[in-house]
Each structure stands twice: as C-alpha cells, then as structure tokens.
Amino acid sequence: MNGIFDGLFGNDATKVRLGTAIRTGTLPHAFLIDGPRGSGKSTLAFEIAAALGCENRESATGPLPCRRCNTCRRIFEGTFTDVKVLDKPKDKATIGVESVKEFKEDMFLSAGESDVKIYIVKNAHLLTPQAQNALLTVMEEPPSGVFILLLSESADKILTTIKSRAQYVAMERFSRQALESYLLDKVPEARTRRTSDPEGFGALLIRSEGYIGRATELFDPKESERIKAERETVKKFIAALDVRAPYSALYAVITELPTVRAELLLSLEEIGRALADMIKSKSTDGFVTTEFFLDADEARRTAKSLSQKRLLAISGILLETHDAISKNAMTAAALASLAAKIKLI
Ligand SMILES: [Zn+2]
C-alpha cells in the first residue's frame, strides 16, 4: 500500500481503513493499538499523528502524511507540542492515576499549534485500573480535536469499558519469508549475517516472531552475538540430556547459564522452546513451525536419542525451575536442583 503511512511496513488493511477515515474526517477519537514489543505500534501512532496534523492531508493524491510539511517533520522529530506521549516512569512498574490526570488536564486546554491534539499512551497495559478509569471519563466525551492512542502489549489488561470506547487495531505479524525479504532489503547487518552465519541468521529470524521492530533490535551486532552464544549453550544443554552423557556435562552447562536472574529466565525459556520443538517433532508428522530449531528436521534429528517420556519429564522440571527462579528462589540452588532432578529421571 503506497502513499498511506509509508513509514510502516505491511499492515495494509489498517493503512487503508485509517487513511481513508483521516482523509474523510471520520477517524474515531480513541484507539487501542495492540501488539508485542517491536511490532510497530509506536510507528503506527506517529504515522496517524502526522497524518492528522499534516498540512497537506486534504490532497487526495499525495502521500499521507506528506512527510515534507513543517508539521509532519516536527511530529516525526518529536518536537511538535500538540503530540504528547505518556509512558511508564523508569523507576515504576505501572502508570499511575497522577500522570493520567495531568495528561487529561492538558486535553482540555485549547489547541496550541494546530486544530488537533494527539495523546499517545505507550505501555497502556501498565496503566493501573484507577488510571484507566481516569482516562475513561475523557474517552467517553473527548474534547473536540483530541485523539487518544493507547499502545498495548496485552489487551487483556485493558478494562472492557475502555475497549468498548476505542477502536481496536492489531499489529500485523509477518511470515518468516516476508520478514526475511524485508530484512535483506533494509537491514545491512541482516544481509551480512545471512552470508557469514546462515544458522545465526535463521535463529534471529525465528526469534523475531514476525515483527520488524523486534528483528531490528535482534540484528544489532551485540544482541545477535549474545543470542548466538545463548544458542550454543542451549544446544550443549540438550546434548547433556542424553542418558549416556555424564552428569558432569550437564553440570558444566549449568555453570555457563547467565547469573543475572532476568537473563537466566530468558535462557531457560529458550531451552523450553527447544524442548517443545523436539516434543512436537515426535508427536506430529505435520509439524512445521519451529520456535528454536531452524526447521522440523533439525528438531527431529536432535530428539533422536531422547525418548518422548524423558523430554516431557525434563520439560516439566524446567518449568518448575523457571517458576521458582521467577519467584526469587536462589538461582544457583535452583539450577543445582534442576540438574539433580534430571539425573534422577
Ligand atoms: Zn505533511
């Protein structure tokens, strides 16, 4: 879809729907834009904001937003005063009612630079119920020219009353092929990696889960090296699960796992995805979509020496360990217990 929201890849149905509504002046005043981190929510919100503020928005033929007028430029730079962004304070876990109140008061002040005012709430799933209720009153009857865009990673944390007053937009998830062609076209690091390290490239593609922003983050050289090392550890862990492997092998891998709790949890989740692939490869012939291995054949080959019963048992132990560590168990003790339980199977 050329010409509408060109800064956002794909999401064609959304682009047509919202672009047409903006051109005809019928855009709803509140949106709930939903999708995981890196799925383009913020990009879409700024495209909508620029399109609403664009000095050339009534031109039926030009691109929307035009990206050339003064307003477009400043909205994308983040210096336009009628586009306001609320996000979770760095030192807090939620967005509280106080910050929403300030935001709301601003909505009732007369428009500053243009005839529209756009309020973007990032991480809206972290708004406390109180904060959501405070927003609700203004969403029921927004002052004229006010648009509220809630960006959320999990719509189930948003009150039904809010949902009923906002138009829902789900960000598109791309197929691996579509994502691959986008990356090869736009991300130089992805091109280099596909040539120098095809397996690493494939792994990052899987980890991107169909979202461009996520892929762009992962293809950052530092992050991609970290993932490569993590993948090696996961593979060693799996090799050590073989009944014939010595206990020392399993114990050695465990000492390689990250010591920082949050990172350790991510590594355990990655092991969990590898186990899930192997379990699926044994139980379904038609299994195609892998979460860790590059393809179902690789999962099947790796799972060859492990029985389904053993894989399921290990998977259960892993879940228990993940749960204990996320509830603040001592990491070293939890991992030692993980190794001991696997040994006892
Ligand atoms: Zn413009």
**Residue 104 identity:** K
Is pLDDT at 2 greater than 70 in this prediction? no
Give the predicted TM-score (pTM) of the model. 0.81
- Quick one: what percent of the chain has pLDDT higher than 90? 84
According to CATH, where is 3.40.50.300 located in the chain? 12-170
The Cα–Cα gap between 61 and 239 comes to 60
How confident is the model at residue 150, as a pLDDT? 98
Fold for domain 12-170? Rossmann fold (3.40.50)
Beta carbons within 8 Å of 310's beta carbon, 6+ residues apart = 241, 243, 345
According to CATH, where is 1.20.272 located in the chain? 226-344
93: CA distance to ligand 1 center in Å? Answer: 36
81: CA distance to ligand 1 center in Å? Answer: 15
How confident is the model at residue 109, as a pLDDT? 86
226-344: CATH number: 1.20.272
How confident is the model at residue 61, as a pLDDT? 81
CA-based nearest residue to 290, from 231, 222, 335, 342: 231
How confident is the model at residue 275, as a pLDDT? 97
Q: DSSP letter string over 51-79?
A: HHH-TTTT-SSS-BS-S-SHHHHHHHHT-
Q: Are strands 146-152 and 117-121 parallel, antiparallel or unpaired?
A: parallel
48: CA distance to ligand 1 center in Å? Answer: 11
* Span 81-129, pLDDT tens digits: 999 999 999 999 999 999 999 999 999 887 677 889 999 999 999 999 9
88: CA distance to ligand 1 center in Å? Answer: 29
